[in-house]
């Protein structure tokens, strides 16, 4: 009987899983991963079928590959208002951040308490790292930042847009603080920003931002997975990356960034309206729903909320069973019991849900999601 019961349970679970997979899904986890745009995919395929060799070699096809790589750098640099020789392609945002940190081992660095895990985890193992607190809005305390920068500070790394709560840091103000500190101490303090979540909705003009280093990730802007970028301002650091460049992926990255810039204003307006609609309807449904972080100073595509009295993991599973895909926290923190980002805000990480919107998100999808939420809470 036990064997039959176990077999029955396996059959039921399999059928339920098949039912969920066949269901028309609503994806609301764009901050975790964006689907590859069709235009980007065509670019990748175009450069996947040629005779592109290792661009570091000397023979004819390698030179051809080198020219393609330089073209990608030029295209990316044009979007960023940078120079082609300031662009380094990597395997993603994490590698780009690691390349930065590797330059400052044993040196004093200043970061915020809500940086991406690829920054914060390394910093936690470094006694030379100073973490700056953020307010309940998720914005860095600028006065505290000023006080934390000393003559020994070598690097300041503050992410532009937080991947969990969407808060937008005042990077230009931070850049001014760093410039003033350079003058005051007569030292060359470097400013880095992780802008992976900013590429779709924020202008990334490096000169205007006043930054020295910037991280981007193709998988957060409808580009290929496994391809990222590090901007390195001329005259700051001599960074070299080992390994063969992924030419098809890099060309896809360049196309994705170009398209993100082209559609930024239109898509930002559209997503902002959807986000406003969604939170307004949630508040009508339950006035106790709380936005984690700043709603006003946040990116349009990320909304992190706390719903009183729910178990967020069970809640996400309930939504998943109804065809809605969202998250409780960053996918990079899946092994953590709670989100250190929400902890930094003194928010309840056990009742928090992150919805993130994208190019395929529609008002009708959000209406359906709201209807399902209303039945659960």
Q: For residue range 49-66, list pLDDT tens digits in order.
A: 765 566 666 566 667 778
Asked if residue 91 belongs to a domain, the reply is yes
Q: Is the dihedral of CA 318, 324, 328, 334 positive or negative?
A: positive
**Tokens representing residue 228 in the block:** 């990222």
Asked if residue 233 belongs to a domain, the reply is yes
Interval 32-55: pLDDT, tens:
999 999 999 999 998 887 655 666
32 and 59 fall within a common domain: no
Asked if residue 1 belongs to a domain, the reply is no
86 and 217 fall within a common domain: yes
Tell me which of 11-20, 191-200, 263-272, 322-331 is least confident: 11-20
Which residue, of 208, 242, 261, is where some domain finishes? 261
157 and 294 fall within a common domain: no
Mean pLDDT throughout 125-129? Answer: 77
Interval 185-218: pLDDT, tens:
999 999 999 999 999 999 999 999 999 999 999 9
222 and 365 fall within a common domain: no
249 and 300 fall within a common domain: no
The pair phi, psi for residue 244, each rounded to 5°, is -80, 135
Which residue, of 221, 237, 261, is where some domain finishes? 261
255 and 108 fall within a common domain: yes
Whole-prediction pTM value?
Answer: 0.91
238 and 370 fall within a common domain: no
Is 326 considered catalytic here?
no
For every residue of 282-339, DSSP letters joined together read HHHH-TT-EESS-STTB-TTEEEEE-TT--HHHHHHHHHHTTEE-BSS-GGGTTSSS-
354 and 300 fall within a common domain: yes
Asked if residue 170 belongs to a domain, the reply is yes
Interval 263-280: pLDDT, tens:
999 999 999 999 999 999
247 and 305 fall within a common domain: no
178 and 308 fall within a common domain: no
**Confidence label for 219 from pLDDT (cuts 50, 70 and 90):** very high
What CA–CA distance (Å, rounded) separates 69 from 65? 6
How many structural domains compose the chain?
2
Q: What CATH code is carried by the domain that includes residue 329?
A: 3.90.1150.10
* Beta carbons within 10 angstroms of residue 260's beta carbon: 24
Asked if residue 17 belongs to a domain, the reply is no
Asked if residue 76 belongs to a domain, the reply is yes
202 and 270 fall within a common domain: no
Domain of residue 85 covers: 39-261
Whether 120 and 336 have beta carbons less than 8 Å apart is answered as no
| CA-wise closest residue to 369 among 281, 267, 270, 268 | 281
**Tokens representing residue 85 in the block:** 């020789």
Q: What CATH code is carried by the domain that includes residue 169?
A: 3.40.640.10
Q: What is the pLDDT of residue 49?
A: 79
Asked if residue 14 belongs to a domain, the reply is no
| CA-wise closest residue to 253 among 91, 118, 60, 56 | 91
301 and 182 fall within a common domain: no
Which residue, of 261, 288, 303, is where some domain finishes? 261
Those residues whose C-beta lies under 8 Å from the C-beta of residue 192, and which sit 6 or more positions away, are 100, 155, 156, 157, 158, 211, 212, 213, 214, 215
Asked if residue 189 belongs to a domain, the reply is yes
């Amino acid at each position: 009987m036990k064997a039959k019961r176990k077999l029955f349970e396996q059959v039921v679970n399999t059928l339920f899983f098949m039912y969920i997979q066949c269901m028309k899904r609503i994806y609301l986890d764009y901050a975790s991963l964006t689907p590859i745009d069709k235009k980007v995919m065509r670019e990748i395929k175009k450069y996947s079928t040629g005779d592109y060799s290792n661009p570091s070699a000397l023979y004819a096809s390698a030179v051809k590959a080198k020219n393609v790589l330089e073209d990608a750098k030029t295209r990316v640099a044009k979007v960023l208002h940078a120079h082609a020789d300031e662009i380094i392609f990597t395997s993603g945002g994490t590698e780009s951040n690691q390349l930065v940190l590797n330059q400052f081992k044993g040196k004093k660095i200043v970061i915020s308490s809500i940086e991406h895990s690829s920054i914060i985890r390394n910093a936690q193992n470094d006694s030379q790292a100073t973490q700056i607190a953020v307010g309940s809005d998720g914005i860095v305390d600028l006065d505290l930042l000023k006080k934390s920068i000393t003559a020994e500070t070598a690097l300041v790394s503050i992410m532009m847009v937080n991947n969990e709560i969407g808060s937008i840091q005042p990077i230009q103000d931070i850049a001014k603080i760093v410039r003033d500190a350079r003058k005051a101490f007569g030292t060359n303090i470097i400013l880095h920003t992780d802008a992976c979540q900013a590429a779709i909705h924020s202008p990334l003009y490096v000169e205007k931002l006043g930054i020295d280093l910037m991280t981007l990730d193709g998988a957060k802007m409808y580009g290929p997975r496994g391809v990222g970028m590090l901007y390195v301002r001329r005259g700051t650091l001599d960074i070299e990356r080992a390994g063969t460049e992924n030419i098809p992926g890099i060309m896809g990255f360049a196309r994705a960034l170009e398209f993100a810039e082209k559609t930024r204003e239109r898509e930002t307006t559209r997503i902002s309206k959807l986000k406003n609609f969604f939170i307004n309807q949630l508040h009508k449904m339950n006035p106790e729903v709380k936005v984690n972080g700043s709603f006003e100073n946040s990116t349009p595509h990320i909304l992190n909320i706390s719903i009183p009295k729910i178990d967020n993991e069970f809640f996400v599973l309930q939504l998943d069973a109804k065809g809605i895909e969202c998250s409780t926290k960053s996918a990079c923190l899946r092994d953590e019991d709670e989100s250190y980002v929400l902890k930094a805000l003194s928010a309840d990480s056990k009742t928090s849900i992150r919805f993130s919107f994208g190019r395929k998100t529609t008002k009708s999808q959000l209406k359906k999601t709201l209807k399902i939420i209303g039945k659960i809470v």
